[in-house]
Amino acid sequence: MNPKDSSEITVQTLLALRQESDALRIITEKLRVKEMGPADHIRTKHEVKTFVESGDAKAAEALIKQAGERIGAHQAITNRMKEQQQRGQRTGQ
């Protein structure tokens, strides 16, 4: 997936994509759920399914915001774990 595509997700984009036959897969890819932790990945998929069924613009806006926050949180945790692991390797040598 192009990073350019993910940066241009808007409410209008999500509303248009929900009309696609494979909307759940397309939208979850656009929201980069694979970059989230497992629980957030599943939670977001459920929220996308609800949005696809309802078509609510406020739900689309919330999805975009929450997806960004969840990806950021997962990246912060991953970075912290890497730093701790590196410190542990340095002290263990």
DSSP characters over 16-54: HHTTSTTHHHHHHHHTTGGGS-HHHHHHHHHHHHHHHHH
pLDDT at 91 over 90: no
What angle, rounded to 10 degrees, do the helices at 38-54 and 57-92 form? 170
CB 41 within 8 A of CB 34: yes
Give per-residue pLDDT as tens, 7-20. Answer: 578 999 999 999 99
Model pTM score: 0.78
Write down the residue that tokens 């694979």 correspond to.
Answer: 34
Q: Provide the domain count of the chain.
A: 1
Give per-residue pLDDT as tens, 32-83. Answer: 999 999 999 999 999 999 999 999 999 999 999 999 999 999 999 999 999 9
Q: Which domain, by its residues, includes 7?
A: 3-92
